[in-house]
A and B are shown apart, each in its own frame.
Chain A
Amino acid sequence: MKQTLLEVQDLSLRVGSFTLQEVSVQVHKGDYVVVVGPTGSGKTLLLEAIAGLIPLQEGRIIYDGRDITEESPESRHFGFAYQDSLLYPHLTVRENILFSAAVRGQADSPLIRQRLAELAEAMAIQPLLERRPGPLSGGERQRVSLARALLLRPSLLLLDEPLSALDPQTRAGLQKLLRKIHRDDEVTLIHVTHDFSEAIHLGTKMLLLKDGRVLQYGAPKELFSQPNSEFAARFLRVDNILSGIVQRKSRYSWFCTEKSSRLYGPLPEKVLEDWKVGIRGVLAVRAAHIRMFPEMNAGEVREGECSWPVMVIGVTFHGSYVEVACEGDDPWVIHISLAEWRSFPVARGERVWLACMLRDLHVIPCPAVIHDDR
């Protein structure tokens, strides 16, 4: 079992209009936690609270089994890097990286010099060491900022949207670097981001915040395939969200949509464990989880799938995939690969069938009236 490194217990605080309320999170050694949430949800505030930069109003922070709630930021020894790198303009790149060692009077020690050389090589910043940070590019600045945070080998690295201001190519390079740091340096990371592909690519855990509260915490795949609220589903960009109700029919549970009364299912048995029949909710299905096939093959439904007919009402190319908008009893959006598209290029007005694995029919409950016709 993985060892717990950081435990945030019922953390509450308020700074201006930003709040965190009863936030509890457990981070294990070696985790890469990505924190996502809308603007103003308290992501940066959470990082700053963990770093000790903001005093808590309530709650505790346990680090490596020790209560560090009252400890000052300088005694926590966490690495921290902000979005805009925040290098010190009056120091050279070398002095910036050595800053934490200089504060402790160790900047000239052989171990630190060796560490600087290692970092400079890993971050590919050797030619920049004697320069001032002013004229550096965004990617270079961010690499220097990471090197500065990593100099004294912190076991926890806190990153506040470090890649968001960079161009896609530089961002991809730094994502690779972060994965390498996570893997090779055995650093536990908490990384605030608003980029979902970055979150999926880097994170081993994902924390979704809304209005200063934890909405969901788990593996990124779990959050993406099984969001626990309609907000989470919408925020995590689930394309098909239909309101309706779960009904019991022929010993199975089905999702009956509000708009069409069509039944989708039978729903996986797990749904029944999670919530009761008759409660209103939404059916959330990712566009990529739906396949499309010609009307003439309507009988070829695979095992464990449910299928339904629709008409194509729009086709949009997105470079790496094609988005097909359909209208049947309910509106549907699906994403298909270019290869699939080439073998089955549909046009507006064409009738097709859609199919989805039953396990991908994700139902999210919301409180309502009981309805059961058993």
Chain B
Amino acid sequence: MQYTFQGYRRPDGKVGARNLVAVIPTVICANDVGQAICRQVQGTIGYFHHQGCCQLPTDLKRVTDTLSNLGQSANVGAVLLVSLGCEGTDHARIFEEIRATKKPVEIIRIQELGGTSRAIQAGIDAAQRLVMEISGLQRETADASKIIMSIKCGASDSTSGLASNAVIGYVADKLVDLGGTVIFGETTEFLGGEHILANRAVGGADGPVGQKIYEIVNRMEARAKSIGEDMRGGQPTPGNIAGGLSSIEEKSLGAIVKSGHRPIQGVLEYCDRIDDKKGLWIKDAPGREPEILTGMACTGAQAMMFSTGRGAPQGFPSMPVIKICGNPNTFQHMEHDMDLNAGRIIIGEKSIEEVGEEAFALLLRVLSGQMTKNEALGYFGSMDIFCLGPVI
């Protein structure tokens, strides 16, 4: 069977699931101007992060790369950059890299324009122009091999590994088998299960991909140790053991199961794009939502499948986030935030494969334009960029 979705074909060949004008402040100090523009102009979203100045060069490059790759992602049809003028990010490079994808891009500079009110006026005019320019674009049929799906779990409980993560694992395997792309991260959650992931790497645990998996886990542990914390000690916790988890492998696998069973093709750094690489990939990103969702969206993912048990409501400005809820009680309790009830597996109404097929069908509908619950509620404003060094 051939699976397709309806998407927006971009000049660089990528296919978007949304057709948004992204308002991108190149530094936190431009956020208020960006927010005023977004409030006024329909069809825009903003990336209101907290970075871009008084950071070490490594982090300024990360912020520049991340913002550029968000602007280049296929769900974004046009970009308005809002620069202050003296920030540490390279806003000229962001502008040039987005322009190279042949999508419309404009930039306003607050200091040059004469302050807040003039920048807001110029920004509203520019954003309106961009919305008018792209809003008539029609969706076209695209093959499932064009899908780039990111996956994550958050606000998990004991149902997550058994129900919602198992469902996402089913969808991940199906999408990889159809020639698509799947990306997972949450390096923190690999702890204790990194040898299992490394054994699934192309080239085996001793090959470059397997070794890179160990490297990103060691790097994350070393960062925690640098401030005196040992993340591996005492795992699984007494609470985990009381809940039925018998080893750290079992604990990690509860999260890892959402990546399915296909070979791991490689490891991406936090700001990397995936472009047209296929199969299952890891992105080195932390578990916290604002940072990992940004990392996944800048990879180029058109949608995220998000597993939860206790009920995580949030989305992302430009990437629809589909909430798969493993806990049947939470689904009923928070049904205006949860997109699919995988809790029916726990109460014996449905099998993992049956709910997996429903989840895959929902993914295709969302990619074709159906809103997720957090999109319809406008619950997608919080985002940030994962930086490594201190604020200076």
- Tell whether A pairs with B: no
Q: Which residues of A contact B (CB under 8 A)?
A: none
